[in-house]
A and B are shown apart, each in its own frame.
Chain A
């Protein structure tokens, strides 16, 4: 197993893992140990903000896995993210217990408000963490499996698939907006108190959640890396580049796609589950088709098919969003985001990391050959081919 994990580690992956691990350790430590007001102390709100970015980075990895390596452009990955978030939100709602506004020990506030006599069946079990954690992976995975089963078997590809994934998240958006759906309707789930017995507002909990998110990012990265560098990954790339040929060679294209799509949805679910306790709310707007498309642009900015780029793109774009929407430039943010979409697709189709690699690799190769050349010259051996 260690072989599988390390085999794939090139330089950028190593740097990425070191940076994430360092961030995951140093930021919580600085937040907890250093006195507040110190230059190096990271304030709690920043810890939560970075935690949010890290969750987005996991979502971006999930999208890059299917889009960058298998050519499936899902415009509905926000749905899996939100479903994972809702599963975690339901657990957190049950943890409120009788501390809600209405003081009902079993029913969440919005159900009391709607005069529901008892908990609906699909809320059973969410008072236990292990069950909720299972559902975080299982529900998005199941939806992706069913959806992919139908879609890939009937060979829905390309833009058609993109549009029906968008319709899927739109349908879920409409559904979760309904009060009688049983997930808090318009307001969603919020007002959480604690997670596994720890106060969710406390600095220690937030720092721990951040560290866990970084850990999840590392694990997700290693899983993706393992998938894309394995033989399976080669088949995925073949499907991306020439689906019909791969099928004619004899691979069952739909099984490969289904596997990677479901895996990706599960990762998105985990990202959503880590996101909810850090931002403290989950509501139906997470299902909005615009969110899913925005997540795709993170991947495009960072560089599709590079994994590191996806995570980097998520963090860069979201940092820019936070920076611009909180300043006087707020009305122009949508201009910038829109222009980013256009410019990246037109001028930077490989994204930041891809473009950097395409500069860096030839340069490195040239330097290597120059080194070899000078070494050869010192040895007094001429290169007859060079003259031509």
Chain B
């Protein structure tokens, strides 16, 4: 019975389509006749009317069908006139589109049952399949792919023959394959082709489509389906591994950015700077201030706000760093535990200062246009801001490495790291190197803050959330070695993201912390320990 009706609709759709394709305007009469059928209050007539209207090509077809779906289509059984109550409450005649003052008293909403509702949905899908907008066609094809409604097959065939956009054409082919796969009277050859098409698509929906297939298939089809499912699943595993790897790289770059300054101060000076996170926060707030000024004064410069903020944050955080070193930390050399406490106190003061100045709530920092949005690479989504942060981190890392290697200051810093007393004996002003090193570490934390303001909430607690992670990175990677920090950050980032789907976000993090604690037992000086006598100071 159902198959019969569906076949009838298909025939109708097809014939009406052919007609519509040839000469639209000449068939105003049949459209009106079709519309009038809504007034018969018979489900079978309504069904015919839906079929006829949806292929009519008339501009009113879409409003009529969508009104039907929402229960806004009313009919007068006596005059056989049909009315649409528009969403703004105005009423129009469905056949002509002419405005009507009010509904006749005996007009009643056209009734639907569940089966008709499906027909309506399919018809709406079919209507958008022919939309002049390629994006809409694509979306409609996707929805047909999911619903795999046989009624849409003729429309798809028709649309496919006319389609010019490549993306939409693929989508139509896939939608057609989905329909054929579920069509009870399709031949095995057709089904096998369909399976191949769906397998080539290879995403979650294709998998759902294949696994949802009823079991009563011929052996050859069933075998092909099983093969396709296995193949899709294995590709998906690879993609999810890649996706996790990308997330891990992204997290790793954030960790590296936050930890790199810490690695310098800790590595060169053996100073535990608990206020390091607050330097990151100051950088983020610098970005906020820069954007505020730009918003109010020079709105045209908004896209350059980050480029302006980076040097400013470098200067602000660096200057504060030098100030801290000169006023507090230099009195505490050789007393690392006291330094830890003093800088913790400092972090409380800085947090409270920012809270007083900018308020305790999150401040909004916008993304410039070149950092917003995302693109698809195969089946993984890559957001531009994460990508830029990764590039930025690598750039900072490379510059820092070059600076340590090729500049006089870098040479002095390395000398002090390796053997402070010997360096002092050679005439290096170690206290000046200390101040500059601390300033540099803080300045890098500051520019890290500019980057982190793009992906995190800018609040007085911003730094707190990074401090323990950054310490873990430095301790894991080994002190006094930037490459160790690099490896440490990316290892931790990737390990975290691979544990997350298995163990959940929180347990994954706990597992990482426990693993690091165990790792430190094994290698108390980190992955890349500095060798020599300096370590036993």
Could you say which residues of chain A place their CB within 8 Å of the CB of B350? 338
* Minimal beta-carbon separation of A145 from chain B (angstroms): 14
B33 at interface (Cβ–Cβ under 8 A)?
no
Cross-chain contact B520 with A171 (CB below 8 angstroms): no
Interface residues of A in 14-43 (CB under 8 A from B): none
Q: Given A159-B336, A159-B340, is A338 in contact with B516 using a C-beta cutoff of 8 Å?
A: no
* Minimal beta-carbon separation of A146 from chain B (angstroms): 11
Could you say which residues of chain A place their CB within 8 Å of the CB of B328? 342, 346
- Contacting A73 at CB < 8 Å: which of B340, B506, B524? B340
- Of the listed stretches B22-30, B309-317, B341-349, B440-448, chain A binds B341-349
A164 at interface (Cβ–Cβ under 8 A)?
yes
Q: Which residue of B lies closest to A340 (CB)?
A: B345
B337 at interface (Cβ–Cβ under 8 A)?
yes
Could you say which residues of chain A place their CB within 8 Å of the CB of B347? 338
A345 at interface (Cβ–Cβ under 8 A)?
yes
Interface residues of A in 133-191 (CB under 8 A from B): 147, 150-151, 153-156, 158-160, 162-164, 166-168, 170-171, 174-175, 177-178
Q: How far is the CA of A341 from the CA of B339 in the complex (A)?
A: 10
Q: How far is the CA of A334 from the CA of B270 in the complex (A)?
A: 27
Interface residues of B in 125-180 (CB under 8 A from A): none
B522 at interface (Cβ–Cβ under 8 A)?
yes
* Minimal beta-carbon separation of A324 from chain B (angstroms): 13
- Contacting B475 at CB < 8 Å: which of A150, A163, A175, A334? A163
If over half of A's interface residues share one DSSP class (helix, strand or loop), that class is named, otherwise mixed; here it is helix
Q: How far is the CA of A44 from the CA of B338 in the complex (A)?
A: 38
Q: How far is the CA of A345 from the CA of B524 in the complex (A)?
A: 27
Cross-chain contact B521 with A151 (CB below 8 angstroms): yes
Chain B residues engaging chain A, CB cutoff 8 angstroms:
270, 272, 328, 331-332, 335-342, 344-353, 356, 468, 471-472, 475, 506-507, 509-510, 513-514, 516-518, 520-522, 524, 536
A337 at interface (Cβ–Cβ under 8 A)?
yes
A289 at interface (Cβ–Cβ under 8 A)?
yes
Q: Sample 26 A-B pairs with CB under 8 A, ordered by A number.
A: A67-B337, A153-B521, A154-B520, A154-B524, A158-B336, A159-B336, A160-B520, A162-B337, A164-B516, A164-B517, A164-B520, A167-B468, A167-B471, A174-B509, A174-B510, A175-B510, A244-B536, A335-B353, A337-B345, A337-B348, A338-B345, A339-B349, A340-B345, A341-B346, A344-B341, A345-B345
Could you say which residues of chain B place their CB within 8 Å of the CB of A331? 352, 356
A293 at interface (Cβ–Cβ under 8 A)?
yes
- Contacting A338 at CB < 8 Å: which of B337, B348, B356, B510? B348
Cross-chain contact B342 with A341 (CB below 8 angstroms): yes
A349 at interface (Cβ–Cβ under 8 A)?
yes
A296 at interface (Cβ–Cβ under 8 A)?
yes
Q: How far is the CA of A246 from the CA of B489 in the complex (A)?
A: 36
Cross-chain contact A342 with B345 (CB below 8 angstroms): yes
Could you say which residues of chain A place their CB within 8 Å of the CB of B342? 341-342, 345-346
Q: Given A167-B472, A167-B517, A171-B514, is A339 in contact with B506 using a C-beta cutoff of 8 Å?
A: no
Q: Which residue of B lies closest to A166 (CB)?
A: B468
Q: How far is the CA of A331 from the CA of B356 in the complex (A)?
A: 8
Could you say which residues of chain A place their CB within 8 Å of the CB of B353? 335
Could you say which residues of chain B place their CB within 8 Å of the CB of A341? 341-342, 344-346, 348
Cross-chain contact B521 with A154 (CB below 8 angstroms): yes
Q: Given A341-B341, A345-B342, is A154 in contact with B522 using a C-beta cutoff of 8 Å?
A: yes
Could you say which residues of chain B place their CB within 8 Å of the CB of A345? 332, 335, 338-339, 341-342, 345
Cross-chain contact A156 with B356 (CB below 8 angstroms): no
Could you say which residues of chain B place their CB within 8 Å of the CB of A296? 341
Could you say which residues of chain A place their CB within 8 Å of the CB of B341? 293, 296-297, 300, 341, 344-345
Q: How far is the CA of A160 from the CA of B477 in the complex (A)?
A: 13
User: Is the interface on chain A under 10, 10 to 19, 20 to 34, or 35 or more residues?
Assistant: 35 or more
Cross-chain contact B506 with A178 (CB below 8 angstroms): yes
Q: How far is the CA of A156 from the CA of B337 in the complex (A)?
A: 14
Q: Which of A160, A175, A177, A331 has the most CB of B within 10 A?
A: A160
Cross-chain contact A175 with B506 (CB below 8 angstroms): yes
Q: How far is the CA of A337 from the CA of B348 in the complex (A)?
A: 8
Q: How far is the CA of A300 from the CA of B472 in the complex (A)?
A: 26
Q: Rank and list the top 9 A-B pairs by shortest CB-CB distance, nearest first.
A: A341-B345, A338-B348, A338-B349, A334-B352, A171-B513, A338-B345, A345-B342, A154-B521, A345-B338
Q: Which residue of B lies closest to A177 (CB)?
A: B506
Could you say which residues of chain A place their CB within 8 Å of the CB of B517? 147, 150, 164, 167-168
Q: Given A164-B517, A167-B468, is A334 in contact with B337 using a C-beta cutoff of 8 Å?
A: no
Q: How would residues 222 to 255 of chain A score, 1 for a CB under 8 Å from any chain B CB and 0 otherwise?
A: 0000000000000000000000100000000000
Q: Which residue of A lies closest to B522 (CB)?
A: A154
Cross-chain contact B513 with A338 (CB below 8 angstroms): no
